[in-house]
Structure 1
């Protein structure tokens, strides 16, 4: 996968060279480039923003630097790839979107700053994404969030092809509780079923606890969830236990 990011603060992306992302770059699974679109300005002051036509608060990013930076990406890569604009008005990012993006060969992110974008910049864009109903000072943190969630799903990125399968949201539910040694930590004990070695019982416990956690913390996820007959039974058990 090739990932290009257009930003005027390229140093903000230094953390992307660490942890899992750093490893996939080192191993050649991902080519990661940050392009400072201030380098593509055509005015003597290297300005990338200007006042809003018609009046209004703040400054808007001008189209010229971003269009020319995108032309650089296209010339170098042979295409723009799937172009993602980080914007509070975009579609809210979720795990399903990360799984979709993980199948792309080339992603280009536009991380803006200031009050917003000149509307014509959207002509370059295939997707507008928000990471939540709040506003940040710029799109860099949003871009890093989307990139991290996407890259970890690539084959071999986590070192174990099954590592991401049971993640929260991947199955439509929150992940079940997990434990490691010691089995008894200061009186807090690992559930007996996990120590039993009985795989069928362990699988059932995990499904039930995944449903329980989702039922308590994110009941909205269950509204459109496609329950299996076994899951319906488990959820009814959970509800009955809650009444006791």
Structure 2
């Protein structure tokens, strides 16, 4: 069973540490199914003043993160992963083959102008060996960064302070789909999975609350009727 590595390139690595240690994600990491690298963009700052950003050419508001700084951070993420392979693979020949030819790796930029994220994309990313998430901040990253990324992703048509929250969304949605994190049955039955539908409404005790009752069919014990009801209540994703 392969381990999926997720590297996050960010100005604020500390805010990810709790996210990576709780619930399903934390358990997946302890079991060795997922590993995380946090790459601090500030480690690659320029000059004695440790600069990571500058004023935009042509004028404009805010500050732009420098392309050279972010590119170096991305390259460090790649180096970290390849060093891990060398240290943990018993067969140096097979390891070198994977390093040179077979690494399934993607560099994703968190960008409100990117393609809208979906469960289908989460499945795709969960099959990678190494996923690198690049988080912008301030007024974004110098546009020349696009030369060094594979894809831009947005989590919706709204503006956030930075790419850290979108990256957390992707980490959470990808980790639960990594082989071995959840049971195959859980993934199959989960909302959006396989058929890409919204899950049916679900109920628990009390049976009645403020005159709202649980649908009788769910109490009937008739599994065929319950299955039919659930399928009717599920909604296809457009």
Tell me the TM-score normalised to structure 1 length: 0.81
* Cα distance in structure 2, aligned partners of 1:149 and 1:65: 28
- Map of 1:155-170 to 2, 5 A cutoff? 155-158=179-182, 160-170=183-193
Does 2:79 align with 1:55?
A: no
List alignment gaps of at least 5 residues for structure 1. 215-220, 223-244
Does 2:152 align with 1:131?
A: no
Shift of 1:197: 2.4
List alignment gaps of at least 5 residues for structure 2. 83-98
8 Å contact from structure 1 (residues 48, 62) kept in 2: yes
Q: Structure 1 stretch 10-19 or stretch 74-83: which is displaced more?
A: 74-83
Alignment match, 2:13: 10
Deviation digits for residues 95-149 of structure 1, max 9, x if unmatched? 1111111111110010110111111111111110001011111100010001111
Shift of 1:186: 6.0
8 Å contact from structure 1 (residues 49, 62) kept in 2: yes
Alignment match, 1:19: 23
Tell me the TM-score normalised to structure 2 length: 0.83
Q: Secondary structure at the match of 2:110?
A: strand
C-alpha RMSD of matched pairs (Å)? 1.8
- Which of the numbers 43, 65, 80 marks the counterpart of 1:39? 43
Shift of 1:182: 4.2
* Cα distance in structure 2, aligned partners of 1:35 and 1:75: 11
- Map of 1:221-232 to 2, 5 A cutoff? 221=237
Does 2:91 align with 1:99?
A: no
* Cα distance in structure 1, aligned partners of 2:18 and 2:148: 27
Q: Structure 1 stretch 36-45 or stretch 180-189: which is displaced more?
A: 180-189
Shift of 1:200: 1.5
* Cα distance in structure 2, aligned partners of 1:185 and 1:116: 48
8 Å contact from structure 2 (residues 46, 52) kept in 1: no
Shift of 1:169: 2.8
Does 2:173 align with 1:149?
A: yes
Alignment match, 1:198: 222
8 Å contact from structure 1 (residues 49, 60) kept in 2: yes
8 Å contact from structure 1 (residues 41, 64) kept in 2: no
Pick 1 or 2: higher relative contact order, CA cutoff 8 A, min separation 6: 2
Shift of 1:53: 1.0
Alignment match, 1:208: 232
